[in-house]
């Protein structure tokens, strides 16, 4: 049985802070451990992978929470094999982690009154129809958003209607809603953080992402007769360096050696966006990676999504509006170009 804690009003004061990260062996969990402020490291950070904390098993969750007695839970656990999830043989596995597991962990946290950060994704929006209003003043609209309009599209806000196109997106959205339901009648701090296009490149060589893939393909194709790499140029998003995201999450939590201090204006279950600043296509990212290693960026050939079919549909517009993050007084993440530079050079 999980011991209930005190009722929180935004700040939890304890002797030392104990942080539990579900999915702690993944890319984000690793970055969170590496970027934890010194004041947090004076407490305890438990980065638990599935072998230690299988969030699809309710009894395991309760046993771990009873043992760890965390003062904050960050749920970075997810089934992220986007294309594999489209296979009927794997859909139950995606749902078990992204929906049921998120629900079980959130319910246990709410019961024990443990502050909770749940990591979500731009895929919940799918093929959004968010565009600049007809006849609208683009400059005025830009003043209210944290990112510019591109091709008539407006960055996706936290209240943009969700239309997930993939099993991954649908299971993550269902997980978001389950987390909100778990905390809806509580005063326990809970935030859902939606991010996008997360990468670490050479900084975390044991993890694989788009930047690390482009680095590998650039090296492999150097001696080819046609040393080109083909990358889609009709999918727009907000690339996010995982270390920038991790630092942002620590700032959001307000964690120090003795407190967990969420922004008090956040209602339990609030959604915020946190991505790298700016907007670009995968083709832009690939060109930047090539340029960073001294390769000719023109070796990256633009193609359409139709020329590169995948099992899971990708939205053509997935740029997130970070105004919800900035409204909390939190530090904006660096520009995606800066993040890619550091990922290529292996700087955390």
Q: Which of 125, 168, 199, 308 is catalytic?
A: 168
> In this structure, are residues 70 and 112 in contact, taking their beta carbons and an 8 Å threshold?
no
Find, among 111, 118, 116, the residue nearest to 62 by Cα.
111
Q: Is 168 a catalytic residue?
A: yes
Instruction: Report angle CA 58, 63, 67 to the nearest 5 degrees.
Output: 150
Phi, psi of 202 (to 5 degrees): -75, -15
Q: Hunting for tokens 């690339």 — which residue is that?
A: 239
Q: Which two tokens stand for residue 220?
A: 């492999």
How many C-beta atoms lie closer than 10 Å to residue 144's C-beta? 10
For 171, the token pair is: 């299971």
Q: Which residue has the tokens 């960073």?
A: 292
Annotated active-site positions, please?
A: 168
């Amino acid at each position: 049985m999980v011991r209930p804690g005190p009722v929180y009003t935004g700040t939890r004061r304890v002797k030392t802070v104990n942080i539990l990260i579900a999915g702690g062996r993944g890319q984000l969990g690793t970055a969170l451990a590496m970027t934890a402020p010194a004041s947090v490291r004076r407490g305890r950070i438990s980065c638990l992978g599935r072998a230690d904390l299988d969030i699809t098993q309710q009894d395991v969750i309760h046993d771990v929470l009873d043992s760890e007695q965390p003062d904050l839970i960050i749920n970075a656990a997810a089934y992220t094999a986007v294309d594999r999830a489209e296979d009927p043989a794997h859909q139950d596995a995606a749902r078990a982690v992204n929906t049921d597991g998120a629900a079980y962990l959130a319910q246990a946290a709410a019961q024990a009154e443990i502050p909770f950060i749940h990591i979500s994704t731009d895929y919940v929006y799918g093929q959004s129809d968010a565009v600049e209003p007809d006849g609208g003043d683009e400059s005025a609209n830009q003043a209210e958003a944290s990112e510019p309009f591109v091709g008539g599209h407006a960055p996706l806000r936290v209240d943009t209607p969700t239309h997930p196109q993939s099993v991954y997106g649908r299971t993550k959205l269902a997980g978001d809603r389950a987390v909100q339901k778990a905390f809806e009648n509580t005063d326990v701090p809970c935030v859902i953080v939606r991010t996008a296009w997360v990468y670490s490149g050479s900084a975390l060589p044991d993890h694989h992402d788009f930047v690390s893939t482009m680095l590998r393909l650039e090296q492999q194709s150097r001696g080819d007769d046609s040393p080109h790499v083909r990358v889609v140029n009709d999918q727009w998003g907000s690339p996010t360096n995982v270390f920038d995201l991790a630092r942002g999450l620590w700032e959001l939590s307000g964690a120090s050696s003795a407190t967990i201090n969420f922004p008090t204006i956040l209602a339990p279950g609030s959604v915020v966006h946190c991505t790298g600043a700016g907007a670009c296509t995968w083709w832009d990212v690939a060109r930047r990676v090539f340029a960073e290693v001294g390769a000719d960026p023109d070796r990256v050939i633009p193609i359409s999504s139709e020329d590169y079919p995948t099992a899971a549909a990708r939205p053509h517009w997935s740029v997130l509006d970070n105004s919800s993050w900035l409204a909390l007084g939190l530090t904006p993440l660096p520009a995606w170009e800066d993040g890619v530079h550091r990922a290529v050079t292996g700087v955390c």
